[in-house]
Structure 1
Amino acid sequence: KETEVKERSVFDIPIFTEEFLNHSKAREAELRQLRKSNMEFEERNAALQKHVESMRTAVEKLEVDVIQERSRNTVLQQHLETLRQVLTSSFASMPLPGSGETPTVDTIDSYMNRLHSIILANPQDNENFIATVREVVNRLDR
Structure 2
Amino acid sequence: MRIHLTSVFVDDQEKALRFYTDVLGFVKKHDVPMGDHRWLTVVSPEEPDGTELLLEPSAHPAVAPYKTALVQDGIPAASFAVDDVRAEYERLRSLGVAFTQEPLEMGQITTAVLDDTCGNLIQIIHAK
TM-score (ref. length: structure 1): 0.24
Greater percentage in strand: 2
Structure number with larger C-alpha Rg:
1
Greater percentage in helix: 1
TM-score (ref. length: structure 2): 0.26
